[in-house]
Amino acid sequence: MKIYFLILIIFLGYFPIIPQEKTELRGVWLTDVDSNVLSSDQNISDAMDYLASMGINVVFPVVYSEGYTLYPSKIMDSLFNAPVLPNSPFVNRDFLQRLIIEAHRNGIEVIPWFEYGFATSYNQNGGHIIAKFPLWALKDSTGKLVTDNGFDWMSAINPDAQNFMISLVMEVIDNYDVDGVQGDDRFPAMPVEGGYDSVTVSIYKSEHSGQRPPNNYFDASWMQWRANKLTQFLARLRDSVKSRGKNIILSCAPAPYYWGFQKLLQDSKSWVRNGLVDNIIPQLYQYNINDYNYALNTTWNDIGILNPNIFTSGVLLKIGSFVVGTNFLNKILDADRAKGINNECYFFYEGLKANYDSVGTFLKNNFYQKNALLPYRNGNSYRPKAQVQDTATIMVGNWSNYIRYRRQIMGYDRPVIHTSDTAKYADVVYNFNINSSAFYDVYSYRTPDTLWTKNALYTLYSDNDSAKVTIDQSDLTSKGWSQIGTVYLSTGYHSVLKLDNSKLESGKYLVTDAVMLLVNRKLSPDVISAVKNGRVNYQPLNFEISNNFPNPFNPSTNIKFSLAQAGNLSLRIYNVMGQLVKTIVDNVYKNKGNYEFNVSMDNFASGIYFYTLIEGNRQITKKMVLMK
């Protein structure tokens, strides 16, 4: 027996057992109602740290509520002269940008949630949307505006209303480095008594030889026709979302099918069967385990078995005075695990914190003891945690801790350092060890106060290149992580950022604190298929692109590329901050062959720009310099 035991040890030594990483969706909805988590930047930062500590890996923040966006929207400003929800904590601050930074810092994905969907207002006769666009109103068979549980609705079949909602979704995708977008029981949805507005009736008549829809809104064929229109809209929404990249997730959190189809015409069976969603989170909101089991079993049999890999249970933690008990929650997760379901999304954040964090602590200590990868990322950490250097690697000159009122001023994790020396050169340099070649957004941690310089000179280092950026540190509104720029870094040890006093004014202070790198997924969607076990997975390309010529240039340059086979192409120009500044072509079909574009930048300031050629789901980005 001893010999056999020794052989077993030797065998295991040569063939070690490698534990597999868990793949579970652990999501939380973040609301603007009955919660303060989104109302301040500090609350957001604290919340993301808290969620990361308990293993949450994706958040769904509300971005559309009461018929208004909660992020600054040019579309809403142009249509309603209201870029954000009036009289809200979101006026004059971009909460979504701050949330993305803090979530991605913690390795948490962000999927904005369009909660209001095709609802327009709450008991306001349609509110501002219907007041401006009366033809969008959802009408019942008597011609009245449809109101369901107090919510006023527009028609989800009206093409203009559909285009409006798609435009908001695409605005978020285009302006933010988000990981996906989400609809719910109002997006796409339509109360079953609706569909009698003039536009929907006209569409119905055109497809039914001039016949009007049945007056009985529960007529089976009439219900299915309207449900099919919502499904067709979802397919169109998916095409729009995926046009910006295969990695952008389309999520839906509908009502359970047995209720959602009958009341809201949500044919979630067809959505899953036709592959229109990347994950689906039915709202299984119940107050006792018997009702939860019924909702789970029925919904699983309706849609879960069609594609188990994308099914996630929507779990109610808190609403009004109700807070889930840990015993009840334990039974919910046991019921999920008995069906092989390892994915939950919780409504909503404050439920985790209720009763002295009892729910959050329970999940952390029982079901979420180990971190987990998201199941739709194919075993990869698509949003690896940020790299943070809380102290400079190299320091030259006279720097000291910032002391005010006899106490040190803390920054991200350590006391802030500063210099007021204008007689002798001073700088700090931040170095990073880069594990994956990609574009990285570079952030510095800001602690605004009095007497800071208006001319903080930063130098950003990309591979073999550098760029200088001057930042006004005296801006008292900018606290926390502030983006300096975007750089491309290959694997290895790099100097990434330098700050020096060459522009420092007399009597002012130059301040520095932690520096952070985040992978920019807009510029690097396929350069790395995030790192797993130290490996980098590269995607094959269908095209080649040469360096632009001339470079530097003024005011125009030529970009040449070749296609190995036909495909749809986009060519976009970004500034050093990673912001889209110009689109040369957008999703234009090109045959196999060689091409050349002349790009004019006559109305742009001198500086470094990046041009990105996109074909299908792959892209190449290169740098060019405009020098006037």
* Nearest partner of 152 among 139, 169, 133, judged by Cα: 139
CA distance 561 to 596: 6
Q: Do 482 and 342 share a structural domain?
A: no
Domain that holds residue 173: 22-377
Label the pairing between strands 322-323 and 480-489: unpaired
Q: Do 253 and 140 share a structural domain?
A: yes
Q: Where are the beta strands (DSSP E) in 435-521?
A: 438-446, 456-462, 465-471, 480-489, 492-500, 510-512, 515-519
Q: For residue 3, is it within any domain?
A: no
CA distance 627 to 604: 10
Q: For residue 326, is it within any domain?
A: yes
Instruction: Identify the domain boundary among 346, 377, 408.
Output: 377
Q: For residue 323, is it within any domain?
A: yes
Q: In the 8-state DSSP scheme, what is residue 529? A: -
Assigned token pair, 268 = 């979630």
Q: Do 181 and 62 share a structural domain?
A: yes
Q: For residue 526, is it within any domain?
A: no
Collapsing DSSP states into helix, strand and coil, what is residue 371? coil
Task: State the sign of the Cα–Cα–Cα–Cα dihedral 259, 264, 265, 270.
Answer: negative
* Nearest partner of 450 among 405, 395, 415, 498, judged by Cα: 405
Assigned token pair, 596 = 């050349």
Residue 608's CATH number: 2.60.40.1930
Residues of the chain with pLDDT under 50: 1-19, 529-540
Q: Do 295 and 158 share a structural domain?
A: yes
Q: Report the number of secondary-structure helices (H) and strands (E) in the chain.
A: 13, 38
Collapsing DSSP states into helix, strand and coil, what is residue 486? strand
CA distance 129 to 375: 38
- Dump pLDDT digits (tens) for 269-280: 999 999 999 999
Residue 191's CATH number: 3.20.20.80
Assigned token pair, 393 = 């690697």
Q: Do 361 and 399 share a structural domain?
A: no
Q: Do 280 and 212 share a structural domain?
A: yes
Q: Prior bond to 550 cis, omega within 30?
A: yes
Q: What is the predicted pLDDT for the residue at 2?
A: 40
- Dump pLDDT digits (tens) for 168-212: 999 999 999 999 999 999 999 999 999 999 999 999 999 999 999
CA distance 347 to 333: 15
CA distance 557 to 547: 10
Instruction: Identify the domain boundary among 377, 403, 418.
Output: 377
Q: Do 323 and 195 share a structural domain?
A: yes
Q: For residue 593, is it within any domain?
A: yes
Show Cβ contacts of residue 109 under 8 Å, excluding neighbours closer than 6 positions. Answer: 57, 58, 59, 103, 179, 180, 249, 374, 382, 383
- Tell me the sheet residues that pair with 151: 122, 148
Contact 359, 344 (CB under 8 A): no
Q: In the 8-state DSSP scheme, what is residue 24? A: -
One-letter amino acid at 522 equals K
Q: In the 8-state DSSP scheme, what is residue 549? A: B
Residue 425: which H helix or E strand, with range?
Answer: none
Sheet of 147-148: strand order equals 119-122, 151-153, 147-148
Q: Do 269 and 185 share a structural domain?
A: yes
Q: Do 601 and 465 share a structural domain?
A: no
- Dump pLDDT digits (tens) for 553-592: 999 999 888 887 788 888 888 886 667 889 998 888 888 8
Instruction: Identify the domain boundary among 345, 377, 409.
Output: 377
Residue 479's CATH number: 2.60.120.260
Q: For residue 108, is it within any domain?
A: yes
In angstroms, the Cα distances linking 425 to 142, 262, 398, 512 are 79, 73, 8, 15
CA 598 to chain centre: 33
CA distance 499 to 446: 13
Label the pairing between strands 387-389 and 322-323: unpaired
Q: Do 431 and 562 share a structural domain?
A: no
* Nearest partner of 59 among 311, 254, 346, judged by Cα: 346
Q: For residue 341, is it within any domain?
A: yes
Contact 289, 324 (CB under 8 A): no
Angle between helices 289-302 and 326-338 (to 10 degrees): 30
CA distance 54 to 578: 32
Show Cβ contacts of residue 292 under 8 Å, excluding neighbours closer than 6 positions. Answer: 284, 286, 331, 332, 335
Collapsing DSSP states into helix, strand and coil, what is residue 50? helix
CA distance 349 to 280: 19
- DSSP-assigned letters across all residues of 190-258: --TT---SHHHHHHHHHHTTTPPPPS-TT-HHHHHHHHHHHHHHHHHHHHHHHTT-TTSEEEE-PPPHH
Exposed, middle or buried by CB within 10 Å (0-12, 13-18, 19+), for 18?
exposed
Assigned token pair, 296 = 């789970």
Label the pairing between strands 313-316 and 344-347: parallel
CA distance 531 to 379: 10
CA distance 516 to 522: 18
Q: For residue 8, is it within any domain?
A: no
Q: Do 42 and 61 share a structural domain?
A: yes
Q: What is the predicted pLDDT for the residue at 572?
A: 87
Q: What is the predicted pLDDT for the residue at 578?
A: 65
Q: What is the predicted pLDDT for the residue at 533?
A: 39
One-letter amino acid at 594 equals N
Domain count, the chain: 3
CA distance 565 to 592: 4
Q: Do 299 and 238 share a structural domain?
A: yes
Label the pairing between strands 58-61 and 109-110: parallel
* Nearest partner of 316 among 277, 282, 357, judged by Cα: 282
